[in-house]
């Protein structure tokens, strides 16, 4: 699916399992009546990156839904996330750089202030393929642009930073 925001404890890091962490998973669970508004500290999302009628849409329903805004629109994701987050809660997502202006505008409209931005590149020679964004609900205006994350070295092996992440 789209990877929206809320994942299951079984796949969360064992070190993250404690009494202060509750993890949810599911397809578009952001609007579930089981989730209490203004009660979350963190929402994480890997949403569809493409508008519904742009690019080549996969014949696979699962891939099409994961890549295009067929079942989950950016504005709906941000609205639901804002509703779930308590004041000063964090919203983190990965998104396509070509839509960053749209993303930042949509975040700010819902009082989710972008605080950190990090571009993700395949290697030092390529343009950014993705952007990691963190926003704070009711946060003050100021955003830090972090150093790029490079996935591969020139020889095609993972960078030391990528190895450390896994």
CA distance 24 to 16: 13
Check pLDDT > 60 for residue 102.
Answer: yes
C-alpha 100/C-alpha 91 separation (Å) is 15
* Exposure string over 57-69, b if 16+ CB within 10 A, otherwise e: beeeeeebbbbbb
Query: Rounded mean pLDDT of 81-109?
Result: 96
Q: How far, CA to CA in Å, does 43 sit from each of 12, 25, 70, 136?
A: 14, 11, 21, 10
Show me where the domains of the chain are located.
9-165
pLDDT at 17: 52
What is the percentage of the chain residues whose pLDDT exceeds 90? 55
**Hey, what CATH topology would domain 9-165 get?**
Rossmann fold (3.40.50)
């Amino acid at each position: 699916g789209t990877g929206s925001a809320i994942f299951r404890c079984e796949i969360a890091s064992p070190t993250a399992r404690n009494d202060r962490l509750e993890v949810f998973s599911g397809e578009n669970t952001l609007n579930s009546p089981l989730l209490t508004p203004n009660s979350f500290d963190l929402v994480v999302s890997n949403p569809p990156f493409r508008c519904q009628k742009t690019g080549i849409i996969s014949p696979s329903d699962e891939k099409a839904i994961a890549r295009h805004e067929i079942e989950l629109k950016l504005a709906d994701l941000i609205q639901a996330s804002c509703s779930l987050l308590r004041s000063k809660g964090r919203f983190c997502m990965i998104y396509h750089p070509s839509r960053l202006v749209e993303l930042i505008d949509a975040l700010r409209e819902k009082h989710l202030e972008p605080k950190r931005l990090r571009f993700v590149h395949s290697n030092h020679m390529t343009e950014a393929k993705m952007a990691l964004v963190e926003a704070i609900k009711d946060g003050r205006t100021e955003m830090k642009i972090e150093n790029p994350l490079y996935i591969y070295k020139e020889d095609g092996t993972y960078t030391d930073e990528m190895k450390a992440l896994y």
